[in-house]
Amino acid sequence: MSDFNLSTFSDAVADIVESAAPAVASLNVHHGRTASAFHWGAGYFVAAEEILDADDELELTLGSGESVKATLVGRDPSTGVALLKTEQAGSPVLAKAAAVRAGNVAVAIGNSVGAALAVLGTVGEVGPAWRSMRGGTIDRRINLAVGAGSRFEGGPVLDARGGLIGMLLFGPRRRALVIPFETIERAVAVLKEKGHVVRGYLGAALHLARDGDTVGAMVMGLDDNGPAKAAGLHVGDIIVAWDGEPVEGPRGLMRRLGPDSAGISVKLGILRGGSRSEIAVAIGEKPLN
């Protein structure tokens, strides 16, 4: 007979939640919606960037039930990380988890106006680094087999020892995924210093285009002072390659315009009037406005 005791397992999960709950806050945003955030240290809280509007008045409800004002230090759409600051430096901090494997138990923690939330699942997939739709480098692909609602978004995901795997976000079709600890750590360091993460800037409005079997990004407009116009791109050009690698439409190009692209020179393969050529472009830094 197995030594597994369901009651003991249940209590162990509840202990993880109870221990982590004081580090997790409810983030009250627009239209009465709530999500979650968690303390990173020294009064800084990490939250999901995509849930914040530019004009939000930010308020956190801590695990104690106390409501505190928060200011937005910075946001990084390329990794989905937003950094908030409060005067509440006394909240506990979650320790980094060890490496996780597919099948490991995972606990997503949230907060709803002071009340702790928790849902139990497993790590569904662990894969290599990948690029987000906005060009950010995410250190590991971690998908969760877990059913979590919108109130959990931005909250921490913990392993069976209570270690922080990362932050819960929702991908396409509301698939639960994790922004890993390492990615958050890197984004937070930049946001503390600069308030934003630099992104590559081409200065061109793009639209999906097809030319036979070739898929690319057609230039529909050019910023007067942008790198694309300075390099000699024209409206109607179809960008089909980035340093020799195929570009499958505007999304494929945007993935390459991440923080590490700013300041580099690339050769864009283009179709113009049915003829293919290459143009060297010095990628700029995306303006803040």
Q: Where exactly are the structural domains of the chain?
A: 1-197, 200-285
* Model confidence pTM above 0.95: no
Same fold, 1-197 and 200-285: no
Beta bridge partners of 242: 245, 268
Structure tokens at 14: 């509840």
Question: Within the chain, which residues score under 50 in pLDDT?
Answer: 1
Q: What pLDDT does residue 91 have?
A: 81
Instruction: Specify the CATH superfamily of domain 200-285.
Output: PDZ domain (2.30.42.10)
**Phi, psi (5° rounding) for residue 66?**
-75, 135
CATH topology of domain 1-197: Thrombin, subunit H (2.40.10)
Q: What pLDDT does residue 174 have?
A: 84
CA distance 101 to 123: 7
CA distance 157 to 137: 19
C-alpha closest to that of 250 among 259, 242, 128: 242
